[in-house]
Structure 1
Amino acid sequence: MTQAPTPTADTVRRLARSLLKDGGGARGGGNGGAESAAGPDVRPVAGGAEPAAWWVGTRHVLRLAPDREASVRHRRELRLRELVRPHVPVALPSSVAHGEWAPGLLCTLDTRVPGGTGEEHTVSAVGEADLAGLLTGLREVPARQAEALGVPRVSPRSLEALRRAAGRAAERLAEADEFDPARLRQLTPPAAAQLAAQPGSSVLVHHALTRGHLVVSADGRVRGVLGWGAAVVGDPAEDIAGLARAVGSPAAVRAATLAGYGARPCLRGLWLARCDSVLALAEGLAGRGPDPLRPLRIRLRRAWEPILLERVTDLGDGDDAL
């Protein structure tokens, strides 16, 4: 496997300057920020010893694939975004240029979608309509075309297996005074079976709808969606679950309802999010999770926000719209 060198500001600046020149960045107004004689202003998007994404001025972001597997995902993402773009009402990054930053390792220079993150701004009611348009558009993307680009098809997860694992994790959280396991007992084995994914329901799924991947304006509109490298063809409830952890269960269910999803996928997404959030916090408390505890607690709280739909106790054979 290719050993990636450690990126530094100087190497990133030289690389960005070359890509901006090759990609016609100067014709588009330059890098949009301060530039020294050595090249554009660059800074890491996030902390870490070896950051993989860097802001370039105010208009671009440079992403560096750390290994060959990531390079494959980056190339697939570039093609997938072009397939998705006509179907969704929100902005997706556009590629300005790409190349190799080390032998066999891809780098991509993308436009920066204007706006803050979901961490900075709360999604408004109109923003929920934007999310509904996103879910609707993903359902309209031809799954076969996505698979032809290399997007993997993934089988739906077993909600019953997830329920059992979350139940064990909930007991550990109870010992740490973090969570009441009785809340999870609302999801009984018959209910988990009733909320199994339905055959033939697979669609293109973003699969990483975190607050960091939602570009939200100060007025609460969802202006863009980032992070398409984890996309799969699979269970649409996974994106409902992602939104429940990101913006709260009520907003996620309202958006999914506006997108035309009925009670079963909405409730399935709700319980996927709840079980996942319990498991993630338990892993974090044990020191095995990658994320700090505070965001894990916030995601758990959002996923467990009550919704009116939980009063539905028997979905029957149908899946009527809410």
Structure 2
Amino acid sequence: MTQAPTPTADTVRRLVRSLLREGTDTAAGPDVRPVGGAAEPATWWVGTRHVLRLAPDAEATVRQRRELRVRDLVRPHLPMAVPTSVAHGEWAPGLTCTLDTKVPGGSGEEHDVSALGEADLAGLLTGLREVPPRQAEALGVPRTAPRSLEALRRAAGQAAERLDAADEFDAARLRQLTPPAAGQLAAQPGGAVLVHHGLTGEHLVVSADGRVRGVLGWADTVIGDPAEDIAG
């Protein structure tokens, strides 16, 4: 197993110069700073226009290589930006990295999505349905089975009964969702599409007016039930 070294600002600057083929001069190089407060950060801001992402292990390397291909596949189908890799390579033996363009905007964890932003998300889901699943599978995107709604219904029923006993929820409301009704809501055969599979606030780039301007984090994409992205 490849043991990843601890990335530092100096090693990141040298790596960026190497990726951009700017030579080995002794200039200070670009301003780099880790994203977040991790002790061994895998994501770094590079100046004001780029983001460097380092795969920390062999599994992440496989996912990152696939992610680069998936982003190119989905980009023409989506109404918002998907990061572009301006350079990529290895930052340690057997471990990949990619220097991506920064998508302007803020995190979806910090900015509310407006009504127009919800329309953007609808456009995202529509666009993903237009991506041919066979093309995605040819890139190595795995296919996953949909969740069992009956299993979820039973688990929710048990929770509802406990809340009912505590006078916090009327369990009779959930009892209206019978097994046959849950079966009608289940994913239909042949309904599998490309699914982002991580469509949460941290992967949305949202502008000040609440529009969704970009979608990040394509490493966990699968062919599966689109309800997973709707739930996200």
TM-score normalized by structure 1? 0.65
Matched, 1:16 2:6: no
Q: Provide structure 2 residue ranges, at least 5 long, that are not aligned to the other structure.
A: none
Percent of matched pairs sharing the same residue: 82
Q: 1:161 to 1:114 in 2, by over 3 A?
A: same
> How far off its partner does 1:189 sit?
3.0
**Aligned-residue CA RMSD in angstroms?**
2.3
Which residue of structure 2 lines up, in the alignment, with residue 282 of structure 1? Answer: none
Structure 1 match to 2:69:
79
Deviation at 1:46, TM superposition (A): 1.8
Q: Distance in 2 between matches of 1:202 and 1:181?
A: 34
Residue in 1 that maps onto 2:132: 142
Superposition deviation, residue 167 in structure 1: 4.6
Task: Specify the alignment match of 2:89 in structure 1.
Answer: 99
1:21-100 pair list within 5 angstroms: 21=21, 37-100=27-90
Letter in 2 for 1:4: A
How many angstroms apart in 2 are the aligned matches of 1:60 and 1:230?
A: 22
Matched residue count: 227
Amino acid at match of 1:133: G
Displacement of 1:123 in angstroms is 1.0
Q: 1:188 to 1:87 in 2, by over 3 A?
A: same
Between structures 1 and 2, the one with greater helix share: 1
2:151 alignment counterpart: 161
Query: Which one-letter code corresponds to 1:12 in the other structure?
Result: V
CA 1:5–1:184: 2 relative to 1, 3 Å: farther
Deviation at 1:89, TM superposition (A): 0.7
Q: 1:7 to 1:171 in 2, by over 3 A?
A: farther
Correspondent of 2:231 among 231, 237, 241:
241
Aligned match of 2:7: 7
* Match in the other structure for 1:117: 107
Distance 2:33 2:170 in 1: 43
Q: Distance in 1 between matches of 2:17 and 2:160?
A: 50
How far has the Cα of 1:233 moved from its partner? 0.7
Shifted more, 159-168 versus 125-134: the winner is: 159-168
- List alignment gaps of at least 5 residues for structure 1: 25-35, 243-322
Tell me how far 1:181 sits from its aligned partner. 7.7
Contact 1:167 1:181 (8 Å CA) reproduced: no
- Cα distance in 2 between the residues matched to 1:132 and 1:55: 30
